A and B are shown apart, each in its own frame.
Chain A
Amino acid sequence: MNSATNSLEPEIASNFDAEKIRADFPILKLKIDGKPLVYLDNAASSQMPQQVIDRLVRYQTTQHANINRAVHYLSEVATMEYHNARCKLQQFVNAREDREVIFTSGTTDSINLVMHGYGRKFIKAGDEIILTTLEHHSNIVPWQMLANEKGAKIRVVPVNGKGELEVNEYEKLFNERTKFVGLIHVSNALGTINPIKHMIDFAHQHGVPVLIDGAQAAPHIVIDVQALDCDFYAFSAHKLCGPTGVGILYGKAALLESMQPFKGGGDMIASVTFEETLYNTIPHKFEAGTPPIAAAIGFGAAIDYLTAIGIEPIAAYELSLLNYATECLNDIPGLTIIGTAEEKTAVLSFTLDGIHPHDIGTILNQDGIAIRTGHHCAQPVMQRFNVPATSRASFAFYNKKTEVDALVSGIKNVQKVFL
């Protein structure tokens, strides 16, 4: 969150009508074992508003056919709606052209696409790839696979005790062998917002392309890929109130054109003989096979829904929730918040003295409270803070202060059980 957002926070947060917004989300009316659902696992997956559900139903009941193929009515409609969804995503990230937005199955798939399409073509033995301690496994494992295959080397940016990247150490890692940077925009485990603009600029001074894993950032921060000047940016729909099974990879057109295809099949070709295949232009070169058409259109509807509310008001409201929750949790004896960066999204990772996160999660569930417990697919982060796992409450714009209160009394109840 930049300072401009911070300064508007009290005004926007107080005008933000969370109750009205909650009415859009049918799942929030659920009761778990008789208790109202308190859903605080939004960093894992956010819930879907009725508007997006309705869009999926409308597509499936009146618009569905395969795309880019037939000349009949439904195929034309489905092709157009799928393309419209791409254009909504293009506007959402402010990409220069719609062909720079590739639909994938999600962030992991997007990163694997870059690893195969760019990495396998351009990374060679002895080259170095810079990653950070905060990366999700999805931005570690593909690069390890590539490094093992090519004889390349992974260099890792450390984090300080607050969970912030040590940017000066990052800068020291660069040398003539540095060929790629993979960087998480917002830490899923801790909520840290990384200074990616500066880090991208620094990499570019060394002629090194940068991939941003934006899975945790896109729901909370306005993304402008042209202003960031990142080479690749990836995120998933299901963390943005959209369906699972779809996400995007933004890539600069010239880079995407220079890359080799990731998956081979239908739609990604211009012509095929048994002697030779000519590949289609971008984005189609990277969208082999029938894509998740319904999910992509649902993704577009989710983007419409979020932009109508506005990412900035959402971020300001969530920051007010984070500040309130941080204050409340800091007052609980024996509770330690892991990740206290200056710049954070509404994620609270914590430990309780003498009580394992899994026990916390199970007992909170008894009160209808859904949090995530475990290593959050970020084991290097856990190792850095010497904990096997943490409990993580992550807030969305449809959460409210009374749910923070429910979490606090739930945690106190856990402590009572283990007294």
Chain B
Amino acid sequence: MHTNSLYQEVILDHNRKPRNYGKLDHANHQAVGHNPLCGDRLDITLQLENDQITDIAFQGESCAICKASASMMTAAVKGKSRLDAETLIHEFRELATGKLDTTHPHHLGRLTVFSGIRDLPTRVKCAILPWHTLHAALNSVASTSTEANHDSAHAVSSKS
């Protein structure tokens, strides 16, 4: 367990000064993500034009890992096509769960600072929640949860 390698300066910086924080007034896609294990909640609003993410914002109450992950995610997917965003979502999930072979080419760039999360199973969901919520927003699922089936477009709402 190497906590220091997780709480790196880049993550602490994005936690202190989150990028793209807030809510888009004219979003055409949005979703709310919940982590019922800790009560965290994240709103994602985005503008999708011709299958391209022209703008994106997030807000919510969450831990540093989740907030930094959301901040870096919005910076990474802004301007990208829906397909490229879905590729990043897939690769990030693989990274966080320790399944990504980083010796092979991938598109995560600086997002690999989250690789240490794989050693903290209880925190993996914190890092993944923004990506899970982005996936839901892109697929027009209004509400999702870390306890929902990752690949289902019919994610359950978490009222429990």
Contact = CB atoms under 8 A, between A and B. Distances in A.
Interface string B55-71: 00000011111000000
Contacts of A359: 7, 63-65
A372 to B, nearest CB: 11
Interface stretch (B22-30, B32-40, B80-88, B95-103): B32-40
Contact of B39 (A362, A366, A375): A375
B62 to A, nearest CB: 7
A357 interface: yes
Nearest to B126: A358
Nearest to A383: B39
Contact of B38 (A33, A366, A375, A418): A375
A131 to B, nearest CB: 17
B3 A366 contact: yes
A356 B129 CA distance: 15
Which secondary structure dominates chain B's binding surface?
A: mixed
B12 A418 contact: yes
A365 interface: yes
A33 B5 CA distance: 14
B120 interface: yes
B141 to A, nearest CB: 22
Contact of A356 (B1, B4, B64): B64
Given A388-B40, A389-B38, A417-B7, A358 B63 contact: yes
Contacts of B4: 366
A356 B39 contact: no
B64 A388 contact: no
B64 A379 contact: no
A418 B64 contact: yes
Contacts of A374: 37-39
Interface in A340-379: 355-359, 362-363, 365-366, 373-375, 379
A365 B123 CA distance: 12
A388 B3 CA distance: 23
Contact of A358 (B12, B15, B41, B123): B123
A134 interface: no
Size bracket, chain B contacts:
20 to 34
A373 B38 contact: yes
Interface residues of A, number: 19
A362 B123 CA distance: 8
A33 B1 CA distance: 7
Contacts of B12: 417-418
Nearest to A363: B3
B61 A388 contact: yes
Contacts of B64: 355-356, 359, 418
B67 to A, nearest CB: 8
A388 B39 contact: yes
Contacts of A379: 39
A359 B67 CA distance: 11
A382 interface: yes
Contacts of B6: 362
A362 B3 contact: yes
Interface of B: 1, 3-4, 6-7, 12, 15, 37-41, 61-65, 120, 123, 126
The 10 closest A-B pairs by CB, nearest first: A356-B63, A366-B3, A358-B63, A388-B39, A359-B64, A375-B39, A374-B38, A359-B63, A388-B61, A389-B39
Given A363-B7, A373-B38, 10 more contacts: A357-B38, A358-B65, A359-B65, A362-B6, A362-B120, A363-B3, A366-B3, A379-B39, A389-B39, A418-B15
Interface of A: 33, 355-359, 362-363, 365-366, 373-375, 379, 382, 388-389, 417-418
12 contacts: A33-B1, A356-B64, A357-B38, A358-B65, A362-B65, A365-B3, A374-B37, A374-B39, A388-B39, A388-B61, A389-B40, A418-B64
